[in-house]
A and B are shown apart, each in its own frame.
Chain A
């Protein structure tokens, strides 16, 4: 059955970023599958009220105090009245929060559980356990996630991290990677294989890079410490010294840009390094296709969408083996390096040699990446999570049966006493505090039910829904005409045309 879903996050358009585009893409694809999706975020400058985006995606910009880097003030309860209003107006059944640094998301999950809704949380980032900020964030995360129905992580490393940070049962954590819109990241000379006429036509043989042809190494990242700009600054002159026909193309801005410029001026590398400054996300492809190698010296990364984008553009990827990066791309597209200067120089040298020798078929990367990652797939897998938490598919099937034969994870009960039990286990002091918060939240909920009764809340008219696609994990009806190969299926409504 189709669901009414609310995506809640502090970070959304018009701010650019990975989480933002993730929410947008998943929402769009879920709408394509027949669900109704509403995004709740805070008001940005010049962007307030309710907006409709492409595909009928409705965005609520809630006015809220922003304290730091577009993160709202973590007031535990003040979001509740307007949140409840939106939820009731839109008849929401599932609240899906994004981003562990978004206090909007945490509050929404707490309130949604109080209101008796199913909740999903998607974690996009990695956190350590050592520094004070991480400890605080982890405690907050534990509070929220001790009463959540399911969690989605973008990589297996991210799953391990989240399970450790919030002391979770691994079975309620799914791994659903990010994806790329492959059509937006095509190589420069890409001719899509068409069904009818294209494939017999001899495809142009890709020109091999000769030993003297220039190779352009592209770096697109924000120039921060944790993006490994120090490594880049140290390794770049050595790479340039070792390989005379190599040039660098660096896009991005940040506090380390000054160091980078200083290094370039001190070594007088202006003619071999081009600094582009900040580029918009839609221009990234145009920058990438100018190069042959994508260098990604990041120090921590949960998924690393940009290397998928680079590979989709037909670039050979050199990256550090940190975080979730080793899981993202197959080995024939990447060269891994330790986060050390010497190793990065060596790996880049290896990549250049591989490109020059023609061992790497970069022209095939785009099609391969297109097969690996697609937002439609992500939405389909996300929908399975929704099915699992709402009970549309059985617990045994959703959570799997472990070795001892009993299902460990289960549907989380809404009863207040059960929720308090879960919160109480969060810590000696924190547990009691969290229980207090949950009780107060419940009292506020009761007050709101009396004060602003449901009967007085108007229901919003839905955007015309697309027909629901019921194609996965459902009992397949034995319609003999269904899903024949070669039939043109209308992806929007699941009907198909019989030739």
Chain B
């Protein structure tokens, strides 16, 4: 019992430290949103990926970055409404 409790507190620690650590109640929307945010921030952070996207879209790098930053807010749209009974 003690072990199991301990693991749980470790999970809580991980969840508070790293956004996006899943738990048993993670919804598909939450998971996807984190995936998208991770992807966009990685694209912004790696200069050659920015170049790559900017070349493909034929946009300025500043515009591509701006677009991605905007998308970070709600990459998968607003959260779905939860069914009332849960």
A and B bind: no
Partner-A contacts on B (CB < 8 A):
none
Partner-B contacts on A (CB < 8 A):
none
